[in-house]
Amino acid sequence: MPLKRLYVAKKLAAGAELRLGNEAVRYLGRVLRLRTGDTVHVFNGDDGEWSATIGRFGKDRVTLLLHDTVENTAEPELKIQLVQGISRGERMDFVVQKATELGVAHITPVLTDYGVVKLDGKRAEKRRTHWEGVAASACEQSGRLRPPLIDMPLPLNDWFGTDRAGTTTDVILRTGAGKPLTNTEKPEAGLCLLVGPEGGFSEREYDDAGFAGFDAVTLGPRVLRTETAAVAAIAIAQALWGDL
């Protein structure tokens, strides 16, 4: 039977009683089909994973009683940051979901020259909140303890100017590049992977990436959709240098 897990944005400690609202009621009751007295594991990204018993179950409120910590070995050793050109709706959701399942630690959504998605401040915050929810659900399913950090969307050129100390291997996907990703040396302090949106990157952006120290690599002879490219590259990296 699959493990029942729930991400909660609350402090976790032995003997604590968590009072959760409508969203938890729907997920535990309608999705997982749990009832009073059933056991579920809870986590918040900071306090480990805990076993809990479902207490009172109402229409819009449920309580959980925490018991003991549970060992969790699902967090990856390879630190991957995905810098992803923002794509339309479900495609971006797919990337966030699968990147989380595959163990990405940090996701930076960027606005690019050929990107079709335009976000102002309010919409950008709303999209990030949505993506954080997608990542939390992916953690529940995949067994991870810690959802990836998801940055506020920003222009790619602005991101190139940020401090990225500690990442030693920076690669940008480019169809036709002379070097396969599989020929990249093993990262020492992490991998930063730059993937374009539906329309790819402009020549200016490829040039800027080169000046910023990114090595252009290819996944092979076929042109992949943006969401396919991101997932394939992460899976290859985890297979070569991680825990796949």
Condensed to tens digits (0 to 9), the pLDDT of residues 130-159 reads 999 999 999 999 999 999 999 999 999 999
Candidate CATH numbers 3.40.50.720, 3.40.1280.10, 3.30.1050.10, 1.10.240.10; the one for domain 80-241:
3.40.1280.10
Contact 28, 62 (CB under 8 A): yes
Residue 95: is its pLDDT beyond 70?
yes
Distance CA 139, CA 144 (A): 5
Token duo for residue 104: 């990405």
**What pLDDT was estimated at residue 72?**
87
CB contact at 8 A, 12 and 48 = yes
Among 162, 144, 143, 138, smallest CA distance to 152 is for: 162
Distance from C-alpha of 183 to C-alpha of 10, rounded to nearest angstrom: 43
Other Cβ atoms within 10 Å of 192 Cβ, number: 23
User: What single-letter amino acid sits at 144?
Assistant: R
Q: What's the confidence (pLDDT) of residue 82?
A: 97
Three-state SS across the chain? Answer: CCCCEEECCCCCCCCCEEEECHHHHHHHHHHCCCCCCCEEEEECCCCCEEEEEEEEECCCCEEEEEEEEECCCCCCCCCEEEEEECCCHHHHHHHHHHHHHCCCCEEEEEECCCCCCCCCHHHHHHHHHHHHHHHHHHHHHHCCCCCCEECCCEEHHHHHCCCCCCCCEEEEECCCCCCEHHHCCCCCCCEEEEECCCCCCCHHHHHHHHHCCCEEEECCCCCCCHHHHHHHHHHHHHHHHCCC
Residue 116 has pLDDT above 60, yes or no: yes
pLDDT > 70 fraction of the chain, expressed in percent and rounded = 97
pLDDT of the residue at 45:
87
Mean pLDDT in the chain?
92
Two tokens, residue 114: 């050929």
d(CA 20, CA 18): 6
Q: What is the pLDDT of residues 168-227, one digit of tens each?
A: 799 999 999 999 999 999 998 899 999 999 889 999 999 999 999 999 999 999 999 999
Q: In the CATH scheme, what is the homologous superfamily, with its name and number, of domain 5-70?
A: Hypothetical PUA domain-like; domain 1 (2.40.240.20)
* Domain span(s) for CATH 3.40.1280.10 in the chain: 80-241
Domain with CATH 2.40.240.20 in the chain: 5-70
Give the residues across from 17 on adjacent strands: 65
